[in-house]
Structure 1
């Protein structure tokens, strides 16, 4: 542990001596990063290790929504929906740069759910939790509403309700940044190869990308390995877990934008599932997701032709212009680690989470705490982290108060630019205007992207020196340096597909230019210069 690291600094190497901390967190997805942030903010010494990049798997493969989960009401998941709805507005206020309110349109299909059922569901959705920022649901005439124009003429009635959108991969990074600013050590490309309970706590071995092995001792261990949680318990900790996960693959397709308005769609399918069609990255529409049992290697989930066909067919039931596989420009898939509740339908498996605290030791004595995170969804990450930190502090005998409710994430404090905050969406627009005024030479599209990607962190990105050379259209040297030096970006995929979505916007020549810069300047020993192929080649075909 290195408490002298400046805010947001990256530990460049493991310490020569053993590191000792209060809590070792294994897993750098949203839950692991959120727990590390919460614990570090309570004053505990935290080490987080992630075997790949932050948010490289499940946490960057979501539908990118902050939502209660309207469809979960059908499965009587009232507690989960209430908990998620209660989180929405706090998250929107705390991260106005990477989150935004979003209105959803549900075209009514009489062959699906009846009107009375939808109205009851929306009434519950409006009232299960306090709502100040987001408007209530309403009924619209799709023949008159802008959202009806791209749809088939047979859809005449629609229901509109509120939820939120989030840049999921950046949410993980910002939690890690906040954890590091509060003293946590964040190690990426660092595998926990084993952990043993000792009389003093836990002794773990961490293997870094350059082959160095580091020993870390900790008073408590957190297993936030997501889809690998059960495997980590069995293989690295040598414990039999009382719970099991159900691994469900969710895949998404991205096509050129199908509509010009700013609403999203939620479509009901004959199989009683739903899919979303969401405005994405300005020029695209995101369609997803599938729910398919995943039985292969966890880290290699990939969309298959049946999933592409399913998403295209279901979207085409609603859009006047059919969506066909040839329209797909990019896809992504992730494995959701859902808590197994013996449901026969993958879509019906609970999205709630369970925190399992194990203090069993040999001889029946109380041992060092091991907290395993089972399941969860991105909307409830903050609440999950708070509950996990509460359990760990109690188990360790620490009196440390919760603090993250209402706290801003890095980049979310825009007051130095715009004064007192008002509404998150209006604040972001004012910030974007202030940023453009301060840097009139920057293209408007770059200013908008930076505002929505970095918020007030743009001051650190520019570092008083300006944007530097333009490496590819809209990609400046200052941004690439910032991502490498401050946000743990170590490969082109980290930059092009997680920290940003520049991979979607750049052509082959632009991606090659960024790759060449990375090859010349990202000179650390653990840097990979391998990029994903072009979006089309990265798709199912």
Structure 2
């Protein structure tokens, strides 16, 4: 006998997908007074949004493809994000060596001048030429590299950016449900009737509008909504990264030019590592669900490092890897590196209950993408209020006086924390560190020690407030402790989560 479905719940907006675009739209919509439900089949930021190069940047190389609007908007958003999320993002200087056969110096100077000015007033230092024989900038590089440039962008903890948007959405009234899959939708009267599936069984909900922010599965989701119009195609582009022991000293990044016109970043990562990426490869649906780096990609990234640095690396030096697939809008470009990175929003109906599909996008512009999405949906959801996210801090980002002063205060209030642990917790949680440490007087007050600075108090917070359900959620997305964690740490965390579910 079929199990009876529970009573239907009604929403203004159903968001499908818990990546950065879905979480950003849910946050914005909830703050405008809409009743919002976000569903994610896995974990928040489980796929593309945690597999980025972890940069807030305008996209210097996009200027070569005349993507001026994208670069301008991204630089403006870079400035906003540094201010609304000062705990998980911070400025980063990038060194651009000028090798023989690379882009000519005059072209780079023009591009950097435009990059400094196209976004309007900026607080980050401007670009300028440098002598790479100066160890401040060129330490670790091969001796033949003498000239270069330095410019500014910023770093961000990508997965935490997603989670913080989801937290804010929930605190403004949205319902966030992970482990729930949207399997289809149809129109019933003036609403969408959406089928959901989870470990608890099947259910249905109603919504006045649907946002399809399913990332690489955006096309598949459209296929499950037959009453929505499909627009254009999707190009799936895989980007892979490797993590190796620190290749060079200093806290700046490098942007390395390749002879094929591509660029590769090397970025200081965690303590003692260098993040190298990314590749750009067109892939089919077979690689969408579980993308993995290929041996050829590893060789490509290692060879790029070896072209520039004295410290040579090979596949055996790779500590960890990750890959993600981006759903870029098919603009007819044949080359993966030339396909537009600009986001494209497509309405699926001319009237009645609406569905909006999201193609492309990047971490830097997610907030503006969310605003654009809700502007497009406003005729179908006329009760919503106006935009508000441009200056509102993300959870934990409401401290004043800068991060250094905030961290110093953390060290004073909880002196039993090591410098490393205090910095990690302050960066991850900002002012909400109080919800974990509370009135603790010693490490013993934080409960069971899982190793590497992870204590039960933090784990409980992640499970109760941040939808963490597995050790991967905790060790690889809510934190990056998985990079150096011993094998039994994941087992112990999973065991605790199972027992305290």
TM-score by length of 2: 0.96
The answer as to 2:262 corresponding to 1:286 is no
Alpha-carbon distance between aligned partners in 2 of 1:521 and 1:225, rounded to the nearest angstrom: 27
After superposition, residues 345-494 of structure 1 pair within 5 angstroms as 345-360=335-350, 366-414=351-399, 421-422=400-401, 427-465=402-440, 466-494=445-473
Give the alignment partner of residue 43 of structure 2, picking from 47, 50, 53: 53
Q: Once the 2 structures are TM-superposed, how far is the Cα of residue 411 of structure 1 from its aligned partner?
A: 0.7
For 1:522, the equivalent position in structure 2 comes to: 498
**Is residue 325 of structure 1 aligned with residue 315 of structure 2?**
yes
Give 3-state SS (helix, strand or coil) of 2:206's partner: strand
SS in 1 for 2:163: helix
1:197 aligns with 2:197: no
Query: Bigger CA drift: 395-404 or 182-191?
Result: 395-404
Deviation at 1:129, TM superposition (A): 1.0
Name the CA shift for 1:141/1:249 in 2 (closer, same or farther; >3 Å). same
Asked if 1:41 is matched to 2:26, the reply is no
| Alignment counterpart, residue 147 of structure 2, candidates 157, 161, 164 | 157
Does the 8 A contact of 2:193 with 2:207 survive in 1?
Answer: yes
Q: Are 1:183 and 2:159 matched, yes or no?
A: no
Equivalent residue for 2:107, pick from 97, 100, 117:
117
Cα deviation, residue 194, structure 1: 1.2
- Using the TM superposition, give the Cα deviation of residue 521 of structure 1 relative to its aligned residue in structure 2, in angstroms: 4.5
State the 1:468 CA deviation.
Answer: 2.3
- How many residue pairs match? The answer is 492
Higher deviation after alignment, 467-476 or 218-227: 467-476
CA-CA distance at 1:517 after TM superposition: 4.3
* Cα-Cα RMSD: 1.5
- The 2-side partners of 1:335 and 1:491 are apart by 22
Give unmatched runs, 5+ long, in structure 1. Answer: 1-14, 361-365, 415-420, 526-541
User: In the alignment, which residue of structure 2 is the partner of 1:25?
Assistant: 15
Task: Summarize deviations over 1:322-364 as a string: whole Å, max 9, x none.
Answer: 121111000000001111111111000000011112334xxxx
Question: How many Å separate the matches in 2 of 1:497 and 1:280?
Answer: 14
Does the aligned pair in 1 maintain the 2:475–2:490 contact within 8 Å? no
Name the counterpart of 1:63. 53
Cα distance between partner residues in 2 of 1:33 and 1:218: 17
Deviation string 1:126-148 (CA, Å, 9 cap, x unpaired) is: 00012332010011111114221
Distance 1:239 1:384 in 2: 21
| 1:133 paired to 2:123 | yes
TM-score, normalized by length of structure 1? 0.89
Give the superposition deviation at 1:514.
Answer: 4.7
Conservation of the 8 A alpha-carbon contact between 2:32 and 2:384: no
Instruction: Tell me the alpha carbon deviations over residues 425-457 of structure 1, each in whole angstroms, 9 at most, x when there is no partner.
Output: xx1111111111111111111001001111111
Alpha-carbon deviation of 1:75?
Answer: 0.7
The match for 1:505 is: 484
Separation of aligned partners in 1, 2:353 and 2:167: 28
Runs of 4+ in 1 over 3 A off after TM superposition: 236-240, 463-466, 520-525
Cα shift at 1:467:
2.3
Q: Could you tell me which residue of structure 1 aligns to residue 306 of structure 2?
A: 316
Contact 2:470 2:493 (8 Å CA) reproduced: no
SS at structure 2 position matched to 1:217: strand
CA contact (8 A) 2:230 2:348 kept: no
Could you tell me which residue of structure 1 aligns to residue 65 of structure 2? Answer: 75
Choose which of 223, 226, 235 in structure 2 pairs with 1:246. Answer: 235
* Post-superposition offset of 1:21: 0.7
1:374 CA displacement: 1.3
Deviation sequence 1:477-520 (CA, Å, 0-9, x none): 11111111110111111011111000112223xxx145224314
